[in-house]
Structure formats: C-alpha cells, structure tokens
Amino acid sequence: MRSDGLQVADELMGALAVRRPVVALESTLIAHGLPWPSNLQTAREAEAAVRAAGAVPATIAVWHGVPTVGLSDPQLEELARTPGVRKASRRDLGGAIALKQLAATTVSATMALAHATGVQVFATGGIGGAHRSERGTRSADVSSDLTELARTPVLVVCAGAKSILDLPRTLEILETLGVPVLGFRTDTFPAFYVRDHDPPLPVSCRVESAEDAAAVFDAHVRMGGGGAVLAQPCPAEFAVPAGEFDRWLSEAEREAHAAGVSGAKVTPFLLARVADQSGGRTLTANRALIVANARLAAEVSVKLTR
C-alpha cells in the first residue's frame, strides 16, 4: 500500500514506473449496471480488450475500506457476486474508506482515484448527467460526473451519456464547465444504446483517430483544462432505434415514479426495467459498447504515452 492509502496492483505500479499505457475501468457496472453473470463476463472482456490493444487494465473499487487500483480476477468475481455493494461517487469515498466498506466506484470516483494514481485515460459505458424534467419541472438531479470532469484531468472514453438522461441539458452543463466533448468519427453526441439523438446534438470537436484524440486531450490539459469526454457511438449492429428506446423508457419512468424510486437508485432501476422490456437487447448493446470503449481507450493511452 502506498503512503497515501491507495492499494495499487504490482503490474500497474511497474507499468506506471516505465510509462507503459494504462486504462482505468470502473466497477459500478460490475456491481450495479449488469446482472450476474454478464457483469463478470463483461468486466473480463473489457480488461482483455485493453490488453489486446497494448495497455494495462486497472479496474478500480474501494475494497473493504482500501481504495484499490487494479483488482485481481478473484476480486472481480467477488464484486460481481456480492449483493449490497455500496455505490460510491466522489462524495462517498471518505465514508466507504473510513467505514471499511466494499464499494463500487462511479465515473466521478473512478476518475478521482485514477488521477491520484497517475492514470490519464478511463473507459466506461456512459457518463452520468442531468436527469429529465418531471411534470414540467426541471430536475435538480445532476450527476457529480460532470463536476469531476471539470476539475480532474482524465480523458473519459464512453458512448456519450446514458440514454435515460436529459442530453441537451447535460451538454449545456459540460459546455459551461469547460469540458470538451470529442466525437470519435462522429459530429453528434451518441446516446449510449442509441447511436444518434433526435434532434442531433453536436459535439465540440470531431476526431478521426486515437492519435488525434490523444493530441487534443494533451493540448487541453496543457492549457490548464480538466477532464474531457471522448464519445464513441455504440457499435451499429447492437444499437437500439431511438423510437423503441423512448417507449421502453417512458414505461420504466412510470414504474419508477409509482414505486417511489429516487436518488442513486433511479439509474440502475430504469436501466434494469428497460433491459427487461427490450428482451435483453439493451443489455447486449451495453456489453458491446463497454468493450468497444475499453479498446478505444487503450489505443488512445498508447498514443498519449508516446
């Protein structure tokens, strides 16, 4: 364990010491985003994709009070099997550490721990953002992922923001916070399972290659910027049409309201209900985009280290 309390895997310590490319991976998708056994299978596939592209994977969690960067395979399986794992954002890290809890890290918490370790690139499924308005009233529920992106210089490779969110408002907040949104071979912001939002939402910069993405992020950080988003559309063969998704989401939102679901429980509830209504199609899309993002993140990390 390091003097700052971080437990960093030996392989990762060695990679960082010689400037080998590294990619951080979050653990919330394992504990809360996907059902067993898809969660473990996807976590392993994401790590394998990172290795195949020439980088070292570092899945991050709080392991019974110890912030851990680089989970072992037995730890991945324990996390995937254990019910009641805490979902920890940046705000929750202190509590999870002090109370010695097993906690899966969200985008914001994973970014914070990755940066503390010296990791610049992080792959996930979709970032959080602003939730949709309810009964004509603008929701005050805005993910801490957005403020973390504003202050922490980590490139987050994702399939845009989760489709259940208010995407135009999410992009407005990112613009206000000075967070660049790069589109990987796309001019428009993808919507997680859905490749194209209607109406289209423009990204702030289009890049055609991992090398271009690395160059833009490097320049952003050198100019004093924080984090950045690199958004890659869900693979076309797995993407869900927007009309179908909107129907599933409307029904899921009605169910969430009737059940009184709120706070951090809203996103996993909606995603689970949409997965059921889609007959597993969104689950398949989720797995595909997670692995694709892990591969792209590794390619960018390789270019950054060069």
Domain architecture of the chain: domains with CATH: 7-305 (3.40.1790.10)
The model's confidence at residue 1, banded by pLDDT at 50, 70 and 90, is confident
Q: Tell me the pLDDT tens digit for each residue of 31-57.
A: 998 999 999 999 999 999 999 999 999
From 26, 77, 253, 299, the catalytic residue: 26
Q: Mean pLDDT in the chain?
A: 94
The least confident of 27-41, 95-109, 270-284 is 270-284
pLDDT score, position 135: 56
Tens-digit pLDDT profile for residues 56-94: 999 999 999 999 999 999 999 999 999 999 999 999 999
pLDDT tens-place string over residues 171-212:
999 999 999 999 999 999 999 988 877 789 999 999 999 999
Q: pLDDT at position 12, please?
A: 96
Catalytic residue, from 148, 162, 253, 303: name it: 162
What is the model's pLDDT at position 137? Answer: 60
Q: What is the pLDDT of residue 56?
A: 98
Q: pTM for the complete prediction? A: 0.93
Task: Let me know if 100 is a catalytic residue.
Answer: no
In this structure, of 18-22, 227-231, 239-243, the range with the lowest mean pLDDT score is 239-243
Each residue's pLDDT tens digit, 106-159: 999 999 999 999 999 999 999 999 988 765 566 678 999 999 999 999 999 999
DSSP the chain: --TTS-EE-HHHHHHHHTT--EEEE-SHIIIIIS-TTHHHHHHHHHHHHHHHTT-EEEEEEEETTEEEES--HHHHHHHHH-TT-EEE-GGGHHHHHHTT--EEE-HHHHHHHHHHHT--EEE-S-B--BBPPBTTB----B-HHHHHHHHS--EEEESBB-TTB-HHHHHHHHHHTT--EEEES-SB--BTTBSS-SS--B-SEEESSHHHHHHHHHHHHHTT---EEEE-PPPTTT---HHHHHHHHHHHHHHHHHHT--GGGHHHHHHHHHHHHTTTHHHHHHHHHHHHHHHHHHHHHHHHH-
